[in-house]
Amino acid sequence: MSKKVYSDRKTKPEKIEQSKAKEIIGLIIYCAIVVAIMFCVIKFVGQRTIVIGDSMNPTLEDGENLITDKITYRFKEPKRFDIIVFPQKANTSKLLIKRIIGMPGETVEIKEGRVYINGFELNETYGNEVMKDEGLAADAITLGPNEYFVLGDNRNNSQDSRFASVGNIQRSDIIGRAWLRIWPLDRVTLLKHQ
């Protein structure tokens, strides 16, 4: 007569079940960590932005994909000629991309198609076209302590600070600075701001 001996050893099927459960839990934890890292990168470091329209030609073209640097302006203030990304007033889900021309506290005026800052003509190479429509800047605009005046590089085909639909840009509305063109592949490059 054989005695039955108690054993706490698991059978092969039980071991396989435990191994599968550990793998699934590990995969779920891994995926959660990846999602959390991606969220932090998109929220605080950078995001993909698509250029819509021709207002920044020839610097940026319609349909190009950019990475917007969202971290730089946490440590330093925007500079003149930086290309910034901000939401449209009427539709905050639509992002606009323009170049900073006027800085906080400055007076901006457009006369005979040329930009004047504090009464002096701005020396720049971005908007070489003479502007046909001075818009709101036909009269001098004095910027507040946290306001920026922006223009598209394609001045005669740009909705920018000259028009009420865009107006002056508040510092708090700036999402970040256009940093890297990632698409199309033959135009991948870091963007020059100064």
* Active site (annotated) includes residue 2: no
Q: Which of 76, 94, 98, 161 is catalytic?
A: 98
Decide if 19 is catalytic.
no
HEC-encoded secondary structure of the chain: CCCCCCCCCCCHHHHHHHHHHHHHHHHHHHHHHHHHHHHHHHHHHEEEEECCCCCCCCCCCCCCEEEEECCHHHCCCCCCCCEEEEECCCCCCCEEEEEEEECCCCEEEEECCEEEECCEECCCCCCCCCCCCCHHHHCCEECCCCEEEEECCCHHHCCCCCCCCCCCEEHHHCCEEEEEEEECHHHCEECCCC
Residue among 3, 20, 55, 79 flagged as catalytic: 55
Active site residues: 55, 98
